[in-house]
């Protein structure tokens, strides 16, 4: 199989992490990948808050009911959107742009041997308020998602969820 495709299929949500530091060079590579993603009209409305402080990671986790693993992650990324910078200032474009960046981070993390998991924030108002408050986000900066990243303490097999019934040819 093509190694790039193998890597895409090998990316899995990793929710258990080793107690081991993630080097700054790795974080830079993840951010390079994030900001290599496509964005509508190349507006790049994304911002990334890199969180390494264990106390802040624990507090972030407190406001994310399905994000407890963030407390034990080597690094957390809060992916945010500057709504004023988005194409036509439309939230839908900002969300699509940020989602593309998030997926690139997940794929890059896997390529580096790291593990990561996408933690949903937007559109849950409580989670958004929690991140905005904790990270001092300006009013025009919307928290979209968090990503917990670290050296994996669990292994998951590559897979696709390919489903013939989801594929339509020429017309529905």
Alpha helices in 64-158 (DSSP H): 91-111, 125-134
Q: Which lies closer to ligand FMN via its Cβ, residue 41 or residue 58?
A: 58
When CB distances to ligand FMN are compared, the closest residue is: 120
CB of 118 to ligand FMN, least distance (A): 4
Q: What is the binding site for ligand FMN (CB under 6 A)?
A: 12-13, 15, 66-67, 117-120
The Cα–Cα gap between 27 and 76 comes to 10
* Phi, psi of 75, rounded to the nearest 5 degrees: -150, 145
Of 29 and 68, which has the nearer Cβ to ligand FMN?
A: 68
Residue number with CB closer to ligand FMN (73 or 132): 73
Minimum distance from residue 46 beta carbon to ligand FMN (Å)? 15
What angle in degrees, to the nearest 10, is found between the helix axes of 54-62 and 125-134? Answer: 160
48: part of which helix (H) or strand (E)?
Answer: strand 46-51
């Amino acid at each position: 199989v093509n190694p790039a495709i193998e890597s895409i299929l090998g990316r899995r949500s990793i929710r258990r992490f080793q107690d081991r530091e993630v080097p700054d060079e790795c974080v830079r590579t993840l951010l390079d990948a994030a900001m290599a993603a496509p964005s509508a009209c190349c507006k790049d409305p994304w911002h990334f808050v890199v969180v390494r402080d264990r106390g802040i990671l624990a507090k972030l986790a407190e406001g994310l009911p399905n994000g407890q693993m963030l407390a034990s992650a080597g690094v957390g990324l809060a992916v945010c959107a500057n709504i004023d910078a988005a194409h036509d200032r439309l939230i839908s474009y900002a969300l699509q742009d940020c989602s593309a960046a998030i997926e690139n981070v997940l794929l890059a993390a896997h390529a580096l041997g790291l593990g990561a998991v996408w933690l949903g924030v937007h559109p849950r108002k409580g989670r958004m308020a929690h991140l905005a408050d904790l990270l001092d986000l300006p009013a025009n900066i919307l928290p979209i998602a968090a990503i917990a990243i670290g050296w994996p303490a669990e292994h998951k097999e590559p897979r696709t969820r390919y489903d013939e019934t989801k594929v339509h040819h020429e017309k529905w």
